[in-house]
Amino acid sequence: MNAPILEMKNITKEFPGVKALSDVSFTVETGEIHCLVGENGAGKSTLMKVLSGVYPHGDYTGDILLNGEIQGFRHINDSEKAGIAIIYQELALIPEMTVFENIFLGHEISNSLVVNWNETIKQAGEMLKKVKLDINPATKVKDLGIGTQQLVEIAKALSKDVKLLILDEPTSSLNEQDSENLLQLLRDLKEHGVTSIMISHKLKEVIAIADSVTVLRDGQTICSLHARDGEITENVLIKHMVGREINNIYPPKKHIPTQEVILEVKNWNARNPSLGRDILKDVNFKLNKGEIIGLAGLIGSGRTELALSIFGNPGNFQISGDFYLNGKKQKFNHPKEAITAGISYVSEDRKGNGLILIQDVKQNISLANLKELAEHWVVNSNAEIKVANKYKTELNIKTPSVEQKVSNLSGGNQQKVCLGKWLFVKPNILILDEPTRGIDVGAKFEIYTIMTELVRQGMSIIMISSELPEVLGMSDRIYIVASGKIAGELKAQEATQEKIMKLATN
Amino acid sequence: MTFFNDVKKILQQNIREYGMYIALFVIMIIFTITTEGTFISSRNIVNLVNQTGYIAILAIGMTLVIIIRHIDLSVGFLAGFLGAIAAIAMADPKVVQAGMNLPVYIVIPLTLVLGIVAGLLTAFLVAQMKIPSFVASLAGWLIYRGAILVVTESTGTIIINDDAFNAIGNGFVPDIPGIGILPGIHKLTLILGIIAIVAMALSEFNDRRKKLTYNFEVLPTEIFILKVVFTSAIIGGITWVLSGYQGLSWTAVIVLVVTIIYNFIMSQTVLGRHIYAIGGNPDAAELSGISVKKLIYVVFGSMGMLSALSGILFASRLQSATTTAGTLFELDAIAAAYVGGVSAAGGVGKVVGSIIGALVMTSLTSGMNLMGIGISYQYMVRGAVLAAAVIFDVATRNTGK
């Protein structure tokens, strides 16, 4: 057992009306990979913000010891100087700047006033080598994939001579391949003496990589587990996270899909004129009434683009091909027309284009179907509250009232608000794009249960997901998308993770 | 003492909204004291309302523009230009000589339509050509500045001698004739004030009753009554002050009507909700089936129409069209909107707030004029108030609901 690099003792942090952390203690040994797990709202991110000085010293009670010395960080700069670097879920790179500019942003290599660009580029290249990234440092960040951007963030942290690297759900938007690369990189960094703390919802990754795991629940430390004692298993983790044992994480299937085709896409091609390349090539697929189909594939394979191209094409792609709804050929020029025709699309990016964060729960739920609540264009606000309360109860949205701003809700509850919004449109076809990304185990199960109930009532669902167990657990049929093409179709019974990955990476 | 705790809690939750009312109230009290009552005199208040009119109208349109995350710099000179067009159509000596002059009831709608066309042109640049609204409307600013000079080049100031037109900026709603009681008091204004109080109270009670039948949360009874009494007192006070002079001016009537219509649209209708949604998150709005493009046309079109109305009010107030009409109106309107709590980040703001903002800014000018403070210091004070209002707005952003 190594000496602890970090000890957080009896940390308590209160927000007005809420105790976010209550007497939390957290110890990380030098040179280990320590995972922090817990449901959404358990206090993981708050704890990391206390550590990094986002919440300044004095704003919380308790002590932070780094290498045995008490620290009082007043600002994120203080913790960076002490060798702590945080990489957030939402990346903090500047898209219009090059990789080398980003890596040394804020601690530029300069003599007195003038930046030494040659030295910057040279050192940036060395940092990229450390994270095993073979790209030109002069590439603009906006031209990189999300997985590559994450590695650039890590390179940036390394350039600051980091001792303790904190990653907040680093793999939540990565595909399997990129995730595996990232985990391997963390192992390599460990060999070179970098200690890492990783917040994650993906328990398989946690089990694969963690030397130790600390479980938080409701702002309290539940337990610390160590791989050397053989304590880290999925069931144990889930039990501690939710306080109960979950044996079956997918609800039993009650529905029987029909053979009645409700949606069909034939010879579908799409070109993104602003990128100047084809994003969908000769796509053919169909959806039966009362069926869940899964669209599996790597990030960037074109699944979201496929969904958007049939949902009124808001990205203004150039499209050719035929689209049939209930056997009738259709063409939508705006999401409005798709919604009217009975299609809903729940976005993969809740904060970006799913919700209006500054508005409250009821306004978000009613937005896509305000006309139903209006008479002569005047909105009946009482009816609106009633509808919002109905979905609050049905979907078990945890909020004090429907007049709460959605920015104050946890990720899982925000996702349920999105779902409520799109169910209120009363669709026949529901497209769910990464429906459980970044939400906790309990909320996931609730969303699966809702999906099962919806198809039982006759709705048809297209689910886009990067989590293979989810695709396998929920779908009746699976289409695998690779490089803008349908690479294969599998029935639920014959599909395995290996088969899907093989098709997706071909 | 649950009553006082409730009051405190509700004030805290709504501090953002009530803040500017309190600010306006404090400013009025300070000027009343420093001018020994002249500020609050009926005559001055009526003047103040008339001075605020053309900026208030612009501020209403600007509120919508800022809510959808855009800006329109062209409105000042557009107002000036359209005021000049209206004046020429009615009263330009050459036009009159040729017998081509149009009557006021044609000129006004025509000017408003021209305003809408101008607004749609800006919208075309913003929505279709994807030009940032700052640049598109700056181009408009230059063009309309030049256009005023072109149309007033030969004649200079155009004097308007149409009584009906000039009444818009200077006239008052006539009183009911033949009532002997209360001499020196404008009876019609008093009656309208009482009707307004009754209507307000009835609609509040009705709303509360409906909410209760749904079992929704409502204000505690005492606070609800306090709120109704307080609002009644304010309407009553304003009515009393106005009726002590010549009653409601036509400008006040126009501003009131436009405010009521826009407030209704923004708070009660699908259109208003869609405008707030676009400001809150344009991508989410588009995916929710709202056409962002279409609403840019609607909002800029409305801005153009209100610019025309503002130009008419200003020309009527001066009884003439001048070469400098409209100078800096756009910045006054933008300042009024920000003082009134409209958020530069988009998605937040109320029409009524911007009217209060406009009143705050004109009160400062009026009060300092009465005190004999020089124009140079007036600009500085107004600048400081603008900065303070936005600081307050940012500081209270995270409190309340």
- For the residues of A106-123, what is the DSSP string, one character each? TS--EETTEE-HHHHHHH
Q: A503: pLDDT confidence band, cut at 50, 70 and 90?
A: confident
CA distance, residue A359 to nearest chain B CA (Å)? 7
Cβ-defined contact of B276 to A374 (cutoff 8 Å): no
**Contact assignment for A385 to B216 by CB distance below 8 Å:** yes
Select the residue from B130, B288, B394 to test the A interface by mutation, using most A Cβ atoms within 10 A: B288
Residue A465 clears pLDDT 80, i.e. is over it: yes
Report phi then psi at B126, rounded to 5: -75, -50
Cross-chain residue pair A335–B347, CB shorter than 8 Å: no
In B281-352 the beta strands, taken as DSSP E runs, fall at 320-321
Q: Which CATH number fits domain B2-171+249-395: 1.20.120, 3.90.660, 2.60.40, 1.10.3470?
A: 1.10.3470
Instruction: Find the closest chain A residue to B271 by CA distance.
Output: A377
The residue among A304, A346, A370, A430 with the most chain B CBs within 10 A of its CB, best to mutate, is: A370
A483-492 long-range contacts, Cβ below 8 Å, gap at least 24? A483/A281, A483/A301, A483/A302, A484/A270, A484/A278, A484/A279, A484/A280, A484/A281, A484/A283, A484/A301, A484/A302, A484/A305, A485/A280, A485/A281, A485/A282, A485/A283, A485/A302, A486/A283, A486/A284, A486/A285, A487/A297, A489/A285
The string of pLDDT tens digits covering residues B236-250 is 988 888 888 888 899
Contact status, residue A416 vs residue A451, Cβ threshold 8 Å: no
Read off the pLDDT band of B401 (50, 70, 90).
Answer: very low
State the sign of the Cα–Cα–Cα–Cα dihedral B196, B197, B198, B203. positive
Q: Once rounded to an integer, what is the mean pLDDT over residues B325-340?
A: 94
Pull the structure tokens for residue B330.
């756009």
- State the pLDDT confidence band at A248, using cuts at 50, 70 and 90: low
Between chains, do A386 and B281 touch, taking CB under 8 Å as contact? no
Domain ranges of chain B: 2-171+249-395
**Residue of chain B whose alpha carbon sits nearest to that of A339:** B289
CA-based nearest distance A300→chain B, Å: 20
**CB pair distance less than 8 Å for B269 and A354:** no
CA of residue A173 relative to chain centroid, distance: 5
pLDDT above 70 coverage of chain B, percent: 98
β-bridge mates for residue A268, sequence order: A283
- Compute the average pLDDT of residues B189-210: 91
pLDDT, mean of residues B335-359? 92
Residue B4, helix vs strand vs coil: helix
| Residue A432 and residue A462 in contact, taking contact as beta carbons nearer than 8 Å | yes
User: What is the spatial distance between Cα A324 and Cα A331, in angstroms, rounded to a whole number?
Assistant: 9
Verify whether the Cβ–Cβ distance A379 to B281 is below 8 Å: no
Choose among A226, A285, A246, A268: nearest CA to A431.
Answer: A285
Q: Do A379 and B288 count as a contact with CB atoms less than 8 A apart?
A: no
Contact between chains at A379 and B401 (C-beta distance less than 8 A)? no
Nearest to B211 among A345, A360, A382 (CB): A382
The answer to whether the CB atoms of B277 and A367 lie below 8 A apart is yes
- What is the SS3 assignment for A477? strand
Considering only CB atoms, B291 lies closest to which of A336, A374, A403, namely A336
Report CA A490 to chain centroid distance, whole Å. 26
Quote the tokens at residue A9.
Answer: 């003792």
Cβ of A367 within 8 Å of Cβ of B348? The answer is no
Q: Strand, coil or helix: what is A487?
A: strand
The tokens for A413 are 């509850």
AA letter at A109: I
Range list of H helices, A142-202: 146-159, 176-191
Question: Cα distance from A28 to chain B (closest Cα, Å)?
Answer: 34
Tell me the pairing of strands A460-464 and A195-199: unpaired
* Cβ–Cβ gap A356/B210 under 8 Å: no
Torsion of CA B61, B63, B69, B72, to 10 degrees: 40
Nearest CB to B284: which of A356, A360, A370?
A356
Please check the confidence at residue A77 and state whether its pLDDT lies above 90.
Answer: no
Render pLDDT for B280-294 as a digit per residue (tens, 0 to 9).
Answer: 999 999 999 999 999
Q: How far is A213 from chain B (nearest CA, A)?
A: 34
Instruction: Give the number of other Cβ atoms within 10 Å of residue A17's Cβ.
Output: 6
Give the pairing type, strands A261-272 and A84-87: unpaired
Which pair of structure tokens corresponds to residue A81? 């100087």
B contacts of A312 (beta carbons < 8 Å): 289
Indicate yes or no: CB of B291 within 8 angstroms of CB of A360.
no
Question: Collapsing DSSP states into helix, strand and coil, what is residue B112?
Answer: helix
* Phi, psi for A71 (deg, rounded to 5): -115, 150
Q: Are B354 and B207 in contact (CB under 8 A)?
A: no
Chain A residue with Cα closest to B289: A336
Mutation site for A-interface testing, chosen from B263, B281, B293, B398 by largest number of A Cβ within 10 Å: B281
pLDDT value for A40: 64
**Spatial CB neighbours of A267, under 8 Å, sequence gap ≥ 6:** A282, A283, A284, A320, A321, A322
Question: Taking CB atoms and an 8 Å limit, are A360 and B401 in contact across chains?
Answer: yes
The pLDDT of residue B180 is 67
Give A128's contacts (C-beta < 8 A, 6+ positions apart): A99, A134, A135, A137, A151, A152, A155
- The answer to whether A20 touches A13, Cβ cutoff 8 Å, is yes
Q: pLDDT tens across A378-389, in order?
A: 999 999 999 999
CB contact under 8 A, A345 and B284: no
B319: its two tokens: 């009884």
Nearest by Cα to B369 from B39, B113, B11, B77: B39
Contact A374 B286 (CB under 8 A): no
Residue in chain B closest to A370 (alpha carbons) equals B270
- Give the CA-trace dihedral at A322, A323, A325, A329, to 10 degrees: -40
With CA atoms as reference, the chain A residue closest to B275 would be: A367
Q: 3-state secondary structure string, A26-70? A: EEEECCCEEEEECCCCCCHHHHHHHHHCCCCCCCCEEEEEECCEE
- Give the pairing type, strands A460-464 and A343-346: unpaired
Residue to mutate among B219, B265, B273, with most A CBs inside 10 A, is B273
| Record: contact B269-A368, CB cut-off 8 A | no
pLDDT band at A349 (very low <50, low <70, confident <90, very high): confident
Chain-chain contact of B280 with A371 (C-beta, under 8 angstroms): no
| Tokens coding A176 | 């399997």
Contact across the interface for A314 and B287, Cβ inside 8 Å? yes
CB-CB neighbors (< 8 A) of B396 in chain A = none
Which pair of tokens denotes residue B363? 């009160």
Does residue A336 register a pLDDT over 90?
yes
- Whether B329 contacts B62, CB under 8 Å: no
- What integer best gives the mean pLDDT of chain B? 90
Distance CA A347, CA A418 (A): 8
User: For chain B, what percent of residues have pLDDT higher than 90?
Assistant: 65
Question: In chain A, whose CA is at the least distance from the CA of B281?
Answer: A356
Mean of the pLDDT values across residues B55-74?
97
pLDDT in tens, A82-97: 999 988 876 788 888 8
Residues of A in contact with B269 (CB under 8 A): 374, 377-379
Residues of chain A with C-beta less than 8 angstroms from the C-beta of B217: 401
The token duo for B243 is 């009726």
Which has more pLDDT, A161 or A458? A458
Strand (E) or helix (H) holding A328:
strand A328-329
Subunit contact B288:A378, Cβ cutoff 8 A = no
**CB-side neighbour CA atoms (13 Å) of A135:** 22
Q: What is the mean pLDDT of residues A18-47?
A: 85
Query: Looking at residue A16, what is its pLDDT?
Result: 63
More confident residue, B113 or A411: B113
Is pLDDT of B1 > 50?
yes
CA-to-CA distance for A88 and A101, rounded, in angstroms?
A: 19
Kindly list the residues from chain A whose CB atom is less than 8 angstroms away from the CB atom of residue B281: 353, 355-357
Q: Give the chain A residue whose CA is nearest to the CA of B282.
A: A353
Rounded to whole angstroms, the Cα distance separating B283 from B277 reads 10
User: Which is nearest to A410 in space by CA: A46, A9, A55, A25?
Assistant: A46
Q: Which residue shows structure tokens 């800029």?
A: B300
Q: Which of A370, A403, A404 is closest, CB to CB, to B273?
A: A370
Radius of gyration from C-alpha coordinates of chain A:
24
Q: Answer whether residue A246 shows pLDDT above 60.
A: no
Contact between chains at A334 and B277 (C-beta distance less than 8 A):
no
Nearest to B277 among A356, A386, A405 (CB): A356
A83: left (phi over 0), alpha (psi -120 to 50) or beta: left
Please report which confidence band the pLDDT of residue A177 belongs to, taking 50, 70 and 90 as the band edges. confident
In the predicted model, what is the mean pLDDT of chain A?
Answer: 88
Q: Which of A367, A382, A403 sits opposite B401 (nearest CB)?
A: A403
| Contact status, residue B367 vs residue B35, Cβ threshold 8 Å | yes
Residues of B with CB under 8 A from a CB of A: 210-211, 214, 216-217, 268-271, 273-274, 276-277, 280-281, 283-291, 347-348, 401
Q: How far is A92 from chain B (nearest CA, A)?
A: 20
Which tokens hold the place of A187?
A: 């192992």
Q: What domains sit in chain A, N to C, each tagged with a CATH number?
A: 4-242 (3.40.50.300), 250-341+462-506 (3.40.50.300), 343-426 (3.40.50.300)
Whether B400 shows a pLDDT value over 50: the answer reads: no
Share of residues in chain A with pLDDT > 70 (%): 96
Q: Please give the average per-residue pLDDT across A27-41, as a whole number.
A: 86
Mutate to test the interface with B, among A346, A348, A353, A393 (most CBs of B within 10 A): A353
**Is the Cβ pair A421, B270 closer than 8 Å?**
no
Quick check: B281 and A421 CB within 8 A? no
pLDDT at A261 over 90: yes
pLDDT tens digits, A189-223 = 898 889 999 998 778 889 999 999 999 887 889 88
**Interhelix angle for B104-123 vs B133-152, to 10°?**
150
- Are the C-beta atoms of A227 and A212 separated by less than 8 Å? yes
With CA atoms as reference, the chain B residue closest to A346 would be B287
